[in-house]
Amino acid sequence: MEKFEHEYNADQIQVLDGLEHVRKRPGMYIGSVSIRGLHHLVYEIVDNSVDEALAGYCSHIKIEIEPGNIICVEDDGRGIPVDIHAKTKISAAETVYTQLNAGGKFGGDSGYKVSGGLHGVGASVVNALSTWAEVTIQRDGGLFQMKFERGKTVQPLTRIGDSDKTGTKVRFLADDTIFETLEYDYETLENRFREMAFLTKGLSISVEDKRSEEVKKAEFCFDGGLNSFVEYLNKNKEKISQQPIYIEKEDGEVPVEIAFQYTTAYSENIYSFVNNINTIEGGTHLEGFKRALTKTFNDYAKAHNILKEKDGNLQGEDIREGITAVISVKVKEPQFEGQTKTKLGNSNVAGIVQSLVNEALSNFLEENPSVAKAILEKCVSASRAREAARKARELVRRKNALESTTLPGKLADCSSKIPEECEVYIVEGDSAGGSAKQGRDRKFQAILPLWGKMLNVEKSRADKIYNNDKLQPVILAVGAGIGSDFDITKIRYGKVIIMADADVDGAHIRTLLLTFFFRYMRPLVENGNVFLAQPPLYKLSKRGMKDIYCYTDDELTENLNNIGKDGINIQRYKGLGEMNPEQLWETTMNPETRILVQVTLEDAMKADEIFTILMGDEIGPRREFIEANAKYVKNLDI
């Protein structure tokens, strides 16, 4: 019988306790151990408090970031039950925080008609991934407390006093042996809790950052619910109708709340939620809403002779141009696709939402004919632009077919045809493009020089983009189409790298390209395929010493303090064109030594707001943004 170097028998089979498994495989429960996963811990605890509010027992939630990145979440809900659990023989509160399969949201008699979070197991996951946690509960006339370290109980639930109030307070310190960073981003948390307050009408949520002398604080409470949400999202846009269209139905098996409003913008922004969970991939509730929009507007347009019989129907994308919408449904037994719960699968929800929107929107259009006409004029205009874009797209294809190539003339392609190993540098200017072509590794690096003024797509429709001689080469090089035609599986390069000068003009070009990618190739950003090259700001040279490149002012100071200033020549690079091919390769293009910044989409709502402010028509919000952020400028180019 063959003998193996490492025996494999029953002794090698590990049986992990629930919380040990969480610590061993945290990504399975919170997505990642990056800052995103760190923030997820806070959301899980706050979600439990929000679920109390949804059940009608909580009116205020207070979140604090204490010095040392300690999180404190306090609510005025019922308080976690403190009596002894029949099965575990310890208090229900301790059970919830130490047993992965324990929660108050599985049965139908807990008072939770609906819930978000990890279906009631979020508390134990947070506890497992914390260096320590402390839970204080007020209920049943008493004040109770329990303490934990890395998921293990160090102080069982103990009555420490009396109280005539109710509620739960949780303090915890995330485990620095698990997370890459413990540094919370206040703005990210603030945005999330504002969103939660919009979604839970009348709930007050406050967030406070006490980590520095300059305390940051915000408090949110919106009696207008999703109406207030849409007004907030559209605050920097020109509106077609002054008030959002609001639809709400609380009774029935699936409570629905929807608000939407049309703007003069060309992009659509629809956000959908189930039990306050952001379903970023949509699902049946979103499908029902879209179908209702398309049918109701087409029916109205035909009935009122806005569309003639010969015109045919408007397409869904025509009707959704410029819309900002928020859809929120509460589902008792939600079926989510995938571990991350980003797409709703309950088939009955589509019909419920469609029927409700059909009826409410039909009534609104009949009662507001001037608004209906203005919206439909925009939809018809979008339809014509879509047809013009189709013709422009076909013209581009025919032209390229006649020229026997589908690639732009200025593109210096790479020899590899495997997208995962290929990258394209979109380079500002012919001069820098020439250096990049000479300095690159031809096997996997392609170079596409851009020149002249680029189109601001925030103010343009797709037909203008297809006809634009600056953007057309980018579309052809990436090879996956744009807008609703974009197909991420067809991209020709795994990395699309923007390489521009480190000055105001370079920043403008980066912003224009990022606006284009966000509005017309968003999956490219969501998939992590877009990068920013980081050319050096300075070169330090001295006789007998190898040149040193500095990418920030701090790096410059640091190097001057090692090596001293005597005999040092400091060159400040204003543009890529000042570097020869070897320098460009060594500093900015060599995978062994270069610095790339990956562009990610952490918050689609915030990104939409920023692009609207920076690139939209409204001047006031842009001036306010510049004034508010002027103090953060590091490299001022005058």
Angle, vertex CA 505, rays to CA 499 and CA 511, nearest 5? 65
How many CB atoms are located within 10 Å of the residue 386 CB? 20
Spatial separation of the C-alpha atoms in residues 151 and 124, rounded to whole Å: 7
Sign of CA dihedral 304, 306, 309, 312: negative
Instruction: Give residue for tokens 């819309």.
Output: 323
Spatial separation of the C-alpha atoms in residues 455 and 517, rounded to whole Å: 12
Q: Is 503 a catalytic residue?
A: yes
- The runs of H, that is alpha helices, within 452-503 are 462-466, 472-478
One of 231, 287, 463, 501 is an active-site residue; which one? 501
Spatial separation of the C-alpha atoms in residues 617 and 101, rounded to whole Å: 52
Point out which residues pair with 263 in neighbouring strands.
Answer: 239
- Going by C-beta distance under 8 Å and a sequence separation of 6 or more, which residues neighbour residue 264? 237, 238, 239, 240, 322, 378, 617
Instruction: Look at residues 326, 45, 51 and name the one whose alpha carbon lies nearest to residue 203.
Output: 51
Instruction: Look at residues 211, 170, 172 and name the one whose alpha carbon lies nearest to residue 70.
Output: 172
Which two structure tokens, joined as six digits, stand for 165? 């109030």
Q: Is 617 a catalytic residue?
A: no
One of 428, 463, 586, 609 is an active-site residue; which one? 428
Q: Is 558 a catalytic residue?
A: no
How far from 355 is each of 244, 317, 334, 563, CA to CA, in Å? 19, 20, 20, 73
How far from 361 is each of 183, 184, 233, 300, 490, CA to CA, in Å? 46, 42, 21, 10, 38
Q: What single DSSP character describes residue 91?
A: B
Beta carbons of 79 and 136 less than 8 angstroms apart: no
One of 505, 547, 578, 603 is an active-site residue; which one? 505
Spatial separation of the C-alpha atoms in residues 434 and 605, rounded to whole Å: 38
How many CB atoms are located within 10 Å of the residue 406 CB? 14
Spatial separation of the C-alpha atoms in residues 182 and 174, rounded to whole Å: 7
Q: Is 592 a catalytic residue?
A: no
One of 299, 503, 578, 603 is an active-site residue; which one? 503
Which two structure tokens, joined as six digits, stand for 371? 């608004």
Query: CA 508, 509, 513, 515: dihedral to nearest 10 degrees?
Result: 10
Q: Please provide the DSSP assignment of 155-199 as one string.
A: EEEEEEEE-S--EEEEEEEE-TTT-S-----HHHHHHHHHHHHHH
Q: Which residues of 85-100 are buried (b: 16+ CB within 10 A; e: fewer)?
A: beeeebbbbbbbbbbb
Phi, psi of 397 (to 5 degrees): -65, -45
Residues found in the chain: 638
Beta carbons of 447 and 416 less than 8 angstroms apart: no
Spatial separation of the C-alpha atoms in residues 361 and 366, rounded to whole Å: 9
How many CB atoms are located within 10 Å of the residue 457 CB? 25
- Annotated catalytic residues are 428, 501, 503, 505
